[in-house]
Amino acid sequence: MAPNSDWQEGNAKGEPGSSLHGVTGREPVFQMTMETVGEKEATDLKGRKFALPVDSEHKAKTVRLYSVAAPHMRTFHLSWIAFMICFFSTFAAPPLMPVIRDNLGLTKVDIGNAGIASVAGAVVSRLLMGTICDLVGPRYGCAILMMITAPAIFCMPLVSTPVGFILVRFFIGFCLATFVSCQFWMSSMFNSKIVGIANGTAAGWGNMGGGIVQLVMPLVFDIIRRDIGSEKFTAWRIAFFVPGVLQVMMGLLVLTLGQDLPDGNYAELKREGEKVNDSFQKVFLYAVTNYRTYIFALTYGYCFGVELTVDNIIAEYFYDRFDLNLQTAGIIASTFGLMNLFSRPLGGVLSDVVAARWGMRGRLWNLWIIQTVGGVLCIVLGLTGQLGPAIAVMLIFSFFVQAACGATFGVIPFISRRSLGIISGATGAGGNIGAVTTQGIFFMSSKYTTEDGIMLMGIMIVACTLPVIFVHFPQWGSMFCPPSKATEEDYYISEWSKEEQSNGLHHASMKFAENSKSERGRQSPPRSKEETVVVDGV
């Protein structure tokens, strides 16, 4: 199998904005060559020209946010909007909780269980989604998930018992796996140098759904009560048709307008023989035997998991502690999720900026500092008893917690090249497990008041971020330890057996290793004997 010589178009000069090669980055490992064409003549399989400049894999080399040109930018917008709507649906109940808890006679334990249920389903669905995207493509994965979970949203207006409420929130929560399809899709459409920004922006804007919903649902509830004249206990039920209808519409749009790869859909490409798959067992093995997978699953549980937890509790917290009405509590709660507009992308960008100077060690320090500061601010939030200061602290806290999410995915792509998909899925699942655990311990029973729960959650964030100290890359070092004499090639080739190497299957990883030398930071001496020309020396 001939290696594709300009597969990555890298020149290993530590370009900024290699803001890390994407999240799921499940670019097919042994991609057969697309014709090597000049930019001007790039066409897809059907001979149509691309609107954006593309590389040899026909992945876009820029992101033009204002454009909806097929296939790249259209995918970007379809993908992040679909993810945003899923977030919207999953967190549609919390802003209306003061009404729902009265209608259904819920206790604090019931509300806590429902919150846990809403994020627990996605633990499994996120793990499965990576494989589903591999098999049938992200377009089908995303659309099928959205349209299958929409009936669960329509079941919410029919709920009349606490158990029913918990079950419905559980099934709605499955759609959070669109995170994986979103990132997978971005990685298929955007060149590795910019896929980080594309992914971070798409993920951040998707997460905003958790904020937008806190604004929209109380508003819709109010309109239904005032203008249609429904009773409170009926109005909230009607309000749930909004997320349901949006999700169905979006699922249809994804099906009709979306496209799996720049050149076409999976089914067509499989028939043409353009797509080949790696061995699932091997990919799974290398993910499971890498200790860094577990550390980042844990730490992501305490930035993204905390974000999910706060999405679930914050509106009710402001409503109860500060005696606000539903709309005001919703507006304040929404600002938490809306900060994602820039805080998550900025977290990734910060990671890049720091890496340009200090390499991977800088990224690890960056992540640890941002997430720990977030934890401290969470403690402060729980202790703040006045409304104005509480809002201010919450805003700053939201920035740090979301930036930590972005910064985490600045490191993930370097853990493994072969198993990137599964590791990203595992990290995402870890985020949801963190949300389940945190809600279970601190926000379930009346043992802790909500403000105490928030404060204790902050302490747990600080504690669970400490394991970042133990992440060590032999070729780049860790927070406190310098690198050894190992090289990037040594690290990434260890994922391929001798037999696979003799078949030339490892060439893509070697290309990646070459490009990843930027993670040494500036002014680090070349370490391997074979290197003559200094890779960075920038």
Partner 1 sequence: MGQSLLCGAWVLFALLSFVDATVLFSTLPRTLAVEDEIQNQVPAMGLAKAGDDHLVIRWVLNATAQEAAAPGLDASYEKVSLKLCYAPVSQVERGWRKKNDDLHKDKTCSKAIATQKYTSQGNSTVWRITKDVPGAVYFVRAYVLNSNGTQVAYGQTRNLITIEPISGRHASIDVAAAIFSAFSVGSLIFFLALENMRGRRSSGSK
Give whole-number Cα distances, 204 to 60, 337, 482, in Å. Answer: 20, 9, 33
Query: Does residue 28 interact with partner 1 by CB under 8 A?
Result: no
Query: Does residue 157 interact with partner 1 by CB under 8 A?
Result: yes
Cβ proximity to partner 1: between 61 and 232 the closer is 232
Q: How far is the CB of 171 from partner 1 (least distance, A)?
A: 12
Identified binder of partner 1 from the candidate list 70, 128, 255, 469, rule CB under 8 A: 255
Cβ proximity to partner 1: between 250 and 457 the closer is 250
Stretch 327-386 residues interacting with partner 1 (CB under 8 A): none
Judged by CB under 8 A, the stretch of 23-31, 152-160, 333-341, 376-384 that binds partner 1 is 152-160
Cβ proximity to partner 1: between 268 and 278 the closer is 268
Phi/psi at 199 (5° precision) = -65, -45
Identified binder of partner 1 from the candidate list 127, 144, 257, 441, rule CB under 8 A: 144
Query: Does residue 531 interact with partner 1 by CB under 8 A?
Result: no
Judged by CB under 8 A, the stretch of 233-241, 363-371, 400-408, 527-535 that binds partner 1 is 233-241
Query: Does residue 171 interact with partner 1 by CB under 8 A?
Result: no
Distance CA 240, CA 26 (A): 35
Judged by CB under 8 A, the stretch of 267-275, 282-290, 299-307, 520-528 that binds partner 1 is 267-275
Q: By the 8 A CB rule, do 201 and 64 touch?
A: no
E strands present in 355-457? none
Cβ proximity to partner 1: between 79 and 247 the closer is 247
Identified binder of partner 1 from the candidate list 154, 294, 342, 365, rule CB under 8 A: 154
Distance CA 495, CA 363 (A): 23
Q: By the 8 A CB rule, do 471 and 401 touch?
A: no
Q: What contacts 369, CB < 8 A, 6 or more positions away?
A: none
Query: Does residue 143 interact with partner 1 by CB under 8 A?
Result: yes
Query: Does residue 155 interact with partner 1 by CB under 8 A?
Result: yes
Q: By the 8 A CB rule, do 357 and 522 touch?
A: yes
Distance CA 63, CA 10 (A): 18
Identified binder of partner 1 from the candidate list 165, 190, 221, 236, rule CB under 8 A: 236
Query: Does residue 1 interact with partner 1 by CB under 8 A?
Result: no
Q: What contacts 88, CB < 8 A, 6 or more positions away?
A: 209, 210, 212, 213, 216, 243, 246
Cβ proximity to partner 1: between 142 and 208 the closer is 142
Stretch 70-109 residues interacting with partner 1 (CB under 8 A): 98, 101-103, 105, 107-109
Structure tokens belonging to residue 79: 């993908």
Query: Does residue 245 interact with partner 1 by CB under 8 A?
Result: yes
Identified binder of partner 1 from the candidate list 15, 30, 164, 241, rule CB under 8 A: 241
Distance CA 538, CA 48 (A): 40
Q: How far is the CB of 261 from partner 1 (least distance, A)?
A: 15
Among the listed residues 315, 395, 305, the one whose alpha carbon sits nearest the alpha carbon of residue 118: 305
From the number of C-beta atoms within 10 Å of its C-beta (0-12, 13-18, 19+), residue 501 rates as middle
Identified binder of partner 1 from the candidate list 449, 484, 494, 501, rule CB under 8 A: 449
Distance CA 244, CA 241 (A): 5
From the number of C-beta atoms within 10 Å of its C-beta (0-12, 13-18, 19+), residue 533 rates as exposed
**x-marked contacts with partner 1 along 176-205 as a string, rule CB under 8 A:** ------------------------------
Cβ proximity to partner 1: between 112 and 428 the closer is 112
- Secondary structure of residue 324 in the 3-state scheme: coil
Cis peptide before 526 (omega within 30 of 0): no
Judged by CB under 8 A, the stretch of 229-237, 288-296, 423-431, 456-464 that binds partner 1 is 229-237
- State the virtual CA torsion across 530, 532, 533, 537 in degrees, nearest 10: 90
Cβ proximity to partner 1: between 243 and 425 the closer is 243
Among the listed residues 346, 381, 382, the one whose alpha carbon sits nearest the alpha carbon of residue 366: 346
Q: How far is the CB of 489 from partner 1 (least distance, A)?
A: 42
Q: By the 8 A CB rule, do 358 and 349 touch?
A: no
Q: How far is the CB of 143 from partner 1 (least distance, A)?
A: 7
Among the listed residues 275, 264, 212, the one whose alpha carbon sits nearest the alpha carbon of residue 83: 212
Instruction: Give the footprint of partner 1 on this chain (CB under 8 A).
Output: 98, 101-103, 105, 107-109, 140, 143-144, 147-148, 150-151, 154-155, 157-158, 160, 231-234, 236-238, 241, 244-245, 248, 251-252, 255-256, 267-268, 271, 320, 445-446, 449-450
